[in-house]
């Protein structure tokens, strides 16, 4: 977010102490890929972009339309690279292809980005297309996604009124019944507990660079995700995603806590409002950073947490 704000505000930035409290200090390959993606939109001069680096500088030029190819070189999160790139890309439009992991731990899945995050921006007038070319899982990666946006000045952020419920269940290098069983168990639990009828999409790919499975479930602007792993039954994966969604749906607010964090930069830049139940540490940091760049966000906490700009 720091380099994205640097690009859109034409303000040079220096970031220090990067991940200094993590067991593995400094930049990882996916962080370097994210910075390079933003730099590609504005011909930025960068220093410190090497694995383990604890400090970078980012000096942007004027944002322009570009078509980029970014390789994480690992199973690094494709959605996080896209989210770093997108705020600057909206100024002049462009496209990006990113290789790495489409569904990896501690990150939104590519389907969450397309089915939960992106509809909010599309409602605000953004032309945003997401295409999954190859799915990639940890540790091999090998996924590839392409995103295209037109130059946009979005309207204020408002959450879609419709509350459609759906899911995408995926697998690579596994029998097709794995993704089908994930979907069936998630649908059964959501219907039994919440009375929700979910539209299911199965994406089972027989071959790929990696082996894995995942499922993303959503209702409106709230989502739940789960990743498969060796020895974990497909039914448990599906139920885990459904439980994550049900937990979010049972709490106040119109967006889940993760989406509340991801939308902050667009709320600050374009105005609007939405509600959630918790201001995560990520979101608190983002609010501080946005205000540092002159993009303040208002937070009001009553029975529900209201965010506006």
CATH number at residue 172: 3.30.360.20
pTM over 0.85: yes
**Residue 308 in domain:** no
Residue 163: per-residue pLDDT: 77
pLDDT average, residue stretch 44-49: 98
Query: Residue 207 pLDDT more than 90?
Result: no
282 is catalytic: yes
Residue 287 pLDDT exceeds 80: yes
Q: Please give the pLDDT value at position 159.
A: 92
Q: How does pLDDT run across 231-273, given as a tens digit for each residue?
A: 999 999 999 999 999 999 999 999 999 999 999 999 999 999 9
* 208 domain residue, yes or no: yes
Instruction: Determine, yes or no, domain membership for 265.
Output: no
Within 13 A of 22's CA, how many CA atoms are on the CB side? Answer: 11
Give which of 83, 69, 68, 67 is closest to 31, Cα–Cα.
83
- What's the domain range around 116? 2-156
Q: How many domains does the chain have?
A: 2
CA-to-CA dists, residue 252 to 149, 260, 276, angstroms: 32, 12, 6
Are 194 and 216 in a shared domain? yes
194 belongs to a structural domain: yes
The DSSP output letter for 103 is: S
Per-residue pLDDT tens digits for 109-134: 999 999 999 999 999 999 999 999 99
DSSP letters spanning 174-205: S-HHHHHHHHHHHHHHHHHHH----EEEEEEE
Which CATH number does the domain housing residue 139 bear?
Answer: 3.65.10.20
Q: Do 147 and 197 reside in the same domain of the chain?
A: no
In a domain, 186, yes or no: yes
Q: Same domain, yes or no, for 113 and 73? A: yes
Q: What is the pLDDT of residue 107?
A: 94
| Per-residue confidence (pLDDT) for residue 189, from 0 to 100 | 96
DSSP-assigned letters across all residues of 246-288: HHHHTSSSSS-HHHHHHTHHHHHHH-BEEEES---HHHHHHHH
- Claim to verify: residue 145 and residue 216 sit in the same structural domain: no
Q: Taking a C-beta distance cutoff of 8 angstroms, is the pair 18, 24 a contact? A: no
Of 233, 249, 265, the residue that ends a domain is: 249
Model confidence pLDDT, tens digit, residues 144-169? 999 999 999 999 999 977 778 999 99
* Interval 17-35 mean pLDDT: 93
Q: Does residue 203 have a pLDDT over 90?
A: yes
The one catalytic residue among 31, 177, 258, 282 = 282
Mean pLDDT (the chain) is 95
Same domain, 48 and 95: yes
Please check whether residues 25 and 141 belong to one and the same domain. Answer: yes
- Asked if residue 242 belongs to a domain, the reply is yes
Query: Is residue 199 located within the same domain as residue 140?
Result: no
The confidence score (pLDDT) of residue 196 equals 87
């Amino acid at each position: 977010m720091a380099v994205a704000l640097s690009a859109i505000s034409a303000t040079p930035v220096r970031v220090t102490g990067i991940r200094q409290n993590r067991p593995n200090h400094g930049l990882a390959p996916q962080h370097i890929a994210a910075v390079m993606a933003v730099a590609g939109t504005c011909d930025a001069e960068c220093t410190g972009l090497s694995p383990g680096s604890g400090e970078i500088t980012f000096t942007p030029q004027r944002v322009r339309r570009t078509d980029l190819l970014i390789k994480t070189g690992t199973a690094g999160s494709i959605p996080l690279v896209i989210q770093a790139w997108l705020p600057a890309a909206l100024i002049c439009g462009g496209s990006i292809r990113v290789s790495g992991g489409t569904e990896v731990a501690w990150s939104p899945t590519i389907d969450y980005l397309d089915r939960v995050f992106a509809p909010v921006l599309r409602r605000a007038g953004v032309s945003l297309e997401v295409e999954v070319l190859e799915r990639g899982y940890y540790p091999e990666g090998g996924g590839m996604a392409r995103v295209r946006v037109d130059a946009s000045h979005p309207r204020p952020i408002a959450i879609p009124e419709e509350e459609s419920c759906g899911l995408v269940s995926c697998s690579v290098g596994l029998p097709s019944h794995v993704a089908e069983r994930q979907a069936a168990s998630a649908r059964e639990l959501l219907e039994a507990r919440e009375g929700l009828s979910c539209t299911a999409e199965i994406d089972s790919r027989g071959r790929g660079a990696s082996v894995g499975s995942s499922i993303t479930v959503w209702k409106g602007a709230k989502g739940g995700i789960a990743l498969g792993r060796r020895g974990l039954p497909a039914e448990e994966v599906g139920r885990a995603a459904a439980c994550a969604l049900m937990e979010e749906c049972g709490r106040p607010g119109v967006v889940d806590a993760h989406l509340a964090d991801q939308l902050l930069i667009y709320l600050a830049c374009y105005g609007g409002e939405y509600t959630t139940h918790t201001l995560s540490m990520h979101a608190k940091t983002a609010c501080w950073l946005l205000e540092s760049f002159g993009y303040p966000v208002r937070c009001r906490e009553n029975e529900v947490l209201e965010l506006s700009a």
